[in-house]
Structures are given as C-alpha cells and as structure tokens.
Amino acid sequence: MRLKRILRGSTLQSQRQSMETSISIVVSCYNLAGFLGETLESVARQSWQDWECIIVNDGSTDATGRLAKGWTNRDKRFKYHYQENKGLPDARNAGIQRALGTYILPLDADDLLDKSFLAKAHAIISRNSHIKIVYSNTELFGAESGLWNEPFSMKELLRRNLIPASAMFRKSDWRSCGGYSTTMKGGFEDWDFWLSLLEKGGEVHKIEEALFKYRRRADSMAAGIDSQRNTQLRKQIVMNHLPLYLNALGDPLTLTLEMEDAKRRLALIQNSRSYKLGQGIARLFRMFTK
C-alpha cells in the first residue's frame, strides 16, 4: 500500500513536471489573420525549443480562429483561446493567466521574432533575479523601416515608452503587479505595464541586437495620430503610477515653495542696480552691432 502511494506521488510529480515549460509566448489577435501565419512561423523557428505559444483570439471576425486551430493541430506547443472582444490588456492577461511558463513573452499578431530571441533573452533573465525585463533593439519594417535602439533610462521611461511590446518578464512579477491595466484600453498599455513591473525596483536589460521586428502598418500609424487621446492616456499613466512620478519630481508642496523662492530671487536680481546696468550695456552693444 505504501509503495502504491509512493508510485502514485511520483507519477503526479512527473505529470506536473511534464506540463511545465520555461517560456510562454502570448500572441493576442484581433482581425490580423493576414499576418498571423508569418508571426507564428517566427515562433516555430526559435532555436530555444522549450516553449508554449498561447494564441488569444480577442473576438476576431476574420479567419483568425481557423488559422490558429491549424497551428494547434500542427504543433501541440501552440494553444488556442477564444474570448469576446475585450481589448488588448484583457487579451494579454487572459493568455498569461493560462500560461504554464516561468517567463512570459507577449507578441502581437503582426510582429516577428528573430530565431535566437528566446534563447538569448532566457539566458539573461534566468541568471539574474534582479533583472525584471529583457528586450532587444527593434527593427521596423512594413510601411516604415529603420532601427529603434535608444538606450534605456528609468527617468526617460517616465516621459515616454522605451520598451517594445515584446519583452520577456516573469509570470510571478506579472501576478505581483496586477497584470496589464484595463484602464489603458485606448493605448499605451505596454508603457503602463512596464512602469507597474518596475514600480518597486528591478533592473532592465537591453540586448544590443535587433531580435524583434515591429511591423509598421499604415492603418495603425494613422490611428496613432490623435493628440487629444494621447494626452488623456498620458494623464492616466501618471494617475496609475503617481508614487513613481512624485518620487521622481519631488513633493508638490516643496516644489511649489522652491518655485516661489526662485521667482523672488529672480525678481531681486532683475531689480538690482548691477542687473539693470548690465541690461543697458547689452542694449547698447546690440545697437552698435546691427
């Protein structure tokens, strides 16, 4: 009887281990069937083989479902989930919730991965617990071509997004920070999420190779030119991460007092005899040099 319990426990443990995988790629799709096949092909070509790919169909009305199911039949590492349309943050969260991997890599349904992306990103994040995000330089293709290789800076990340959608992070960190915020359905969901991951510290590592290919589509570029919407989304990001911004800018009351003090000092300088004399000399100099 005891031997049976031991064997049963051993079998359950081996089943759990066989279900585990190191990396879960989450591909969120909404009416991008025309690009999805190429994207999934870039996943299938990865040199790192220990992965699963969860295809989340966010209520598409095109051939996304049929195409995705074809890939699940072709390779069991591809998995399919359908949901009513809820927006990108919800779709990403749904895929990650189902993920078995220790590490997560989001991938939009029209972007591509270099075949070495998983291997190189995993080698970095798995060896350093302080690193929370690993990403690479980005090659732009499609309606616009180029290279996005700006250096990372936390200070600059507070001003604008520096990290592409496809960056590797731990599922445990996703869970700890609450996942992708559903307040960002209009855009900037990636920027908001990176700030959430880094709110309590952690490092970011950028691979100095273009291992991620970001497709620039004419329709998505046109949709991005809405300054009023962008302003509202930026305000939402600040509200979502107010402690981060206050820490970077300082206490508002202290800042106000410092500004008022600076204005008083400037007024004293401008009213001083030496300042007025200097201004007069400068005007004379400009008259003679015209």
pLDDT for the residue numbered 257: 60
Q: Pairing state of beta strands 112-113 and 146-148?
A: unpaired
Please, are residues 224 and 123 in contact by the beta-carbon 8 Å criterion? Answer: no
Q: Would you say residue 279 has pLDDT above 70?
A: no
Neighbours of 4 (CB within 10 A): 8
pLDDT for the residue numbered 124: 98
Angle between helices 64-74 and 33-44 (to 10 degrees): 20
pLDDT for the residue numbered 239: 93
Query: pLDDT digit string (tens) for 154-164?
Result: 999 999 999 99
Mean pLDDT of the 210-230 span: 78
Q: Please report, as a single letter, which amino acid is at residue 190.
A: D
Q: pLDDT class for 276, splitting at 50, 70, 90?
A: low
Q: How far apart are CA 120 and CA 111, in angstroms?
A: 18
| Residue of 143, 139, 235 lying closest to 186 (CA atoms) | 235
Sort 268 into a burial class: Cβ within 10 Å, 0-12 / 13-18 / 19+: exposed
Mean pLDDT of the 98-115 span: 98
Token code pair at residue 143:
């309606």
* Segment among 65-79, 112-126, 143-157 with least mean pLDDT: 143-157
Mean pLDDT of the 69-90 span: 97
Q: Which residue has the higher pLDDT, 12 or 205?
A: 205
pLDDT for the residue numbered 285: 47
Please, are residues 79 and 72 in contact by the beta-carbon 8 Å criterion? Answer: yes
pLDDT for the residue numbered 218: 79
CB-based contacts of 139-146 (< 8 A; 24+ apart in sequence): 139/210, 139/212, 139/213, 139/214, 140/213, 140/214, 140/216, 141/213, 141/214, 141/215, 141/216, 142/215, 142/216, 142/217, 143/216, 143/217, 143/218, 143/221, 144/216, 144/221, 145/216
Mean pLDDT of the 11-16 span: 41
Q: Indicate the average pLDDT of the chain.
A: 86
Q: Which residue has the higher pLDDT, 178 or 218?
A: 178
% of the chain exceeding 70 in pLDDT: 78
Does the pTM exceed 0.85? no
| Residue of 226, 189, 206 lying closest to 147 (CA atoms) | 206
